[in-house]
Amino acid sequence: MGNKKNIMKKIKSALISVSDKSDLKQLLKSLKKNNIKLISSGGTYEIIKKLRFECLDVSKFTGFNEILNGRVKTLHPKIHAGILNKRNNKSHQKDLKKNAFENIDLVIVNFYPFEKNLKKTKNHEKIIENIDIGGPTLVRAAAKNYNDVTVITSTKQYSKLIDELNLNKGSTSLKFREEMSKLAFSETAYYDAVISNYFNKISNNNFPPKKMFYGNLIEKLRYGENPHQESAIYSKNKDLRINKIQGKPLSYNNYNDIYSSLAISKSFPKNIGTVIVKHANPCGVSVLKNNLDSYKSALACDPTSAFGGIVSCNFKVTNSVALELNKIFLEVVIANGFDNNARKILKSKKNLRLIDASNYSANEIMKFNSVDDSMLIQSEDKKIFSKKDFKIVSKKKPNKLLLDDLIFAFNVCRHVKSNAIVLASNKSTIGIGSGQPSRLDSCEIAIKKMNRFIKTKNEVVAASDAFFPFIDGIEKLVQSGVSAVIQPAGSIRDKEVIKFANSTETILVFSKTRHFKH
């Protein structure tokens, strides 16, 4: 595209058909100043006339009244020939002259708000009526013929067009038309992807033959996981539903840790729980009801790893918690808001990022992982556990408090990189072993962490994200003082593990589901 000469094209006529009718006045002033003939229809035509600008109705331009309640108005040969003809093609010009058609040099279109309408209604018929046909057709035609035609697809581009016309005395440069064409095709592709995903969603087809991905650029990041890698963050929404209210810009690693911590904290009961994350792995978690105790217990699990980490508070941070947070170096603090006293306390650390996640909820059902030029897709592991999902297989039975601790530990465990072992006591983690090729190694790491940082008089429980293939792992845990273990069933040696548990009077609970996280 960029190798051609910078050919200037004078704009003599413009077709305007916009759903978003804001910011039109300044644009229309510029078009009038440059003696550009305006063609429009429907609501856009009415607004232009109301603003007291001269405009020709599409029906008068084509000589054909709109039909099908407005479904067909700009879909006309005179419109599309005026846009698509190559100005230097003799055959094209002969066809235009024969049919008494004229050039359309500028197309200004934005689409029916299909995506916004999805959030307003579940009525399928209304949703279908908000699929724009004429708009994308006009845009694609103009974008294809960028050599001769300028296309504008967003109100955000109006000022750029005005500057371009002022700079070039009513003309546009090829470079500008190329740039607008590129943005236009992105706009139509995005629009079609939203529609495609809607139809797949209502038919519960998560894995169609062709999968469309779409997103809005939220921010270009300084770099990726490492300084030599490029990075950006996109979202299907216009924002991330999290609000940074203080601190340095967020990095790729920050975002990765933030969403890892939110996945855990938002799985807890409302306004309860603290999660501390380092390198996308939890290093301390607590669901004690008292918020200050919850934070202190999460930190106590592994205060060394917490240094430079991310804290996610599933509650509003107040004075007492803020004072504790201020005692160590942290990269990010996430909470369901911060009161004024907390803001004042944490303001002293200017680089500390504060994230308000009050409006965040983990509602995406699919998870994506890029693999070279391919994509792995799976549904999220968002299963909400109930006691029906577990079976007590040992002779010794847990009381309610111990069973609650086991389920808490198992919930945390599924958010830890596999192989994962979580030790817990009194609704708080006290040792976490993560990401080891050997489950036995994960057991040893979790035990080592517990012995280094925690001195508890309460009973200790252990959770494993998958079954123990041999008794050595559970044996190691029992020897360290663990009195109850929760693990998925499915090993050919499950009976041996049950037998060992009974011989040591260890409580053993089997889960019906496995929870690897790679």
pLDDT tens digits along 453-496: 988 888 999 999 999 888 999 999 999 999 999 999 988 999 99
Tokens matching residue 107: 């197309």
**In this structure, what is the dihedral angle of CA atoms 46, 47, 52, 55, given to the nearest 10 degrees?**
-60
Same domain for 282 and 189? no
What is the extent of the structural domain holding 424?
386-511
pLDDT digits (tens, 9 = 90+) for 157-182: 999 999 999 999 999 999 999 999 99
Chain centre to alpha carbon of residue 173: 36
Judge if 63 and 109 occupy the same domain: yes
**Are 46 and 175 part of one and the same domain?**
yes
233 belongs to a structural domain: no
Assess whether 18 and 161 both reside in one domain.
Answer: yes
**Under a CB-based contact definition with an 8 Å cutoff, are residues 96 and 85 in contact?**
yes
Query: Which of the following is catalytic: 279, 296, 349, 396?
Result: 279
Within-domain flag for 365: no
Both 352 and 391 in one domain: the answer is: no
Question: What residues are paired with 67 via a beta bridge?
Answer: 72
Position 235 in a domain: no
- What ranges in 289-399 are assigned the alpha helix state H? 291-301, 303-306, 319-325, 340-346
CA distance 431 to 452: 9
Asked if the structure places residue 424 within a domain, the reply is: yes
Binned at pLDDT 50, 70 and 90, residue 2 comes out as: very low
Would residue 160 count as lying in a domain? yes
Please give the angle made by the CA atoms of 352, 353 and 359, to the nearest 5 degrees. 150
Domain boundary among 335, 356, 377: 356
3-state helix, strand, coil in the chain (%, to 5): 40, 20, 40
**Annotation marks residue 367 as catalytic:** no
Task: Point out the domain boundary residue: 310, 340, 356.
Answer: 356
Q: Does one domain contain both 148 and 26?
A: yes
Q: Look at residue 208 and tell me if it is in a domain.
A: no
Pair 415, 324 in one domain: no
What does the alpha-carbon distance between residue 440 and residue 421 come to, in Å, rounded to a whole number? Answer: 9
pLDDT digits (tens, 9 = 90+) for 48-70: 999 999 999 999 998 888 888 77
Residues 61, 18: one domain?
A: yes
Residue 363 lies in a domain: no
Distance CA 15, CA 24 (A): 13
pLDDT at 364: 66
Pairing type for strands 460-464 and 171-172 reads unpaired
Q: Answer yes or no: do 80 and 169 share one domain.
A: yes
Tell me, rounded to whole angstroms, the distance of Cα 459 from its chain centroid: 40
pLDDT single digits (tens) 348-365: 999 999 999 999 987 767
Give the span between the Cα atoms of 408 and 389, in whole angstroms: 13
Longest dimension (CA), the chain: 97
Residues 179 and 255 in one domain: no
Q: Which of 12, 21, 92, 144 is catalytic?
A: 144
CATH code assigned at 36: 3.40.50.1380
Q: Is 144 a catalytic residue?
A: yes
Nearest residue to 300 (alpha-carbon basis) of 453, 77, 448, 463: 453
Position with higher pLDDT, 369 vs 232: 232
Q: Helix/strand/coil (H, E, C) string of 16-45?
A: EEECCCCCHHHHHHHHHHCCCEEEECHHHH
Residues 160 and 309 both lie in one domain:
no
**C-alpha angle 360/364/370, rounded to 5°?**
115
- Cα 14 to Cα 178: distance, rounded to the nearest angstrom: 18
Predicted confidence (pLDDT) per residue in 172-208, tens digit: 999 999 999 999 999 999 999 999 999 999 998 988 9
Number of compact structural domains in the chain: 3
Across 6-26, average pLDDT:
92
Q: Is residue 361 part of a domain?
A: no
Q: Are 8 and 35 in contact (CB under 8 A)?
A: no
Residue that finishes a domain, picked among 173, 202, 231: 202
Q: Please tell me whether residues 324 and 458 are part of one structural domain.
A: no
pTM summary value: 0.85
Write the CATH number for 505. Answer: 3.40.140.20
CA distances from residue 43 to 30, 47, 330 in whole angstroms, order as listed? 21, 6, 53
Strand pairing category for 374-379 and 56-57: unpaired
Q: What percent of the chain has pLDDT over 90?
A: 76
Please state, in angstroms and rounded to a whole number, the distance separating the CA atoms of residues 2 and 399: 72
